[in-house]
């Protein structure tokens, strides 16, 4: 299983743990979950989350995800 990462906030993750399901906004608005590889995640975090406090990094078990997972392209460190 490849390592696939997803960035979210601690407050969002706390809510997810109470609800038991995680459906980020991009799943509704774009039809997929934004993810990164280990090599991409720092660049993605700096580009899109530099002003967002309380970030957490989720490691995704691809065998449990039903929707399509797409990697962010072009964000290499």
Query: Distance between CA 36 and CA 62 in Å, rounded?
Result: 13
In a domain, 64, yes or no: yes
pLDDT in tens, 50-77: 999 999 999 988 887 777 776 656 655 4
Q: What is the mean pLDDT of the chain?
A: 84
In a domain, 36, yes or no: yes
What does 37-58 look like in DSSP terms, one character per residue?
Answer: -HHHHHHHHHHHHTT--SEEEE
Domain count along the chain: 1
In a domain, 77, yes or no: no
pLDDT computed for residue 29 by the predictor: 92
Domain of residue 51 covers 4-71
Query: Distance between CA 74 and CA 38 in Å, rounded?
Result: 13
**Sign of the Cα pseudo-torsion (44, 3, 12, 32, in order):** positive
In a domain, 76, yes or no: no
In a domain, 17, yes or no: yes
């Amino acid at each position: 299983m490849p390592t696939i990462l997803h960035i979210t906030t601690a407050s969002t993750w706390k809510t997810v743990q109470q609800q038991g399901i995680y459906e980020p906004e991009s799943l509704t608005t774009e039809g997929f979950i934004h993810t990164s590889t280990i090599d991409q995640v720092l660049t993605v975090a700096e580009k899109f989350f530099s002003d967002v406090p309380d970030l957490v990094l989720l490691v995704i078990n691809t065998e449990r995800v039903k929707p399509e997972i797409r990697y962010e392209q072009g964000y290499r460190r």
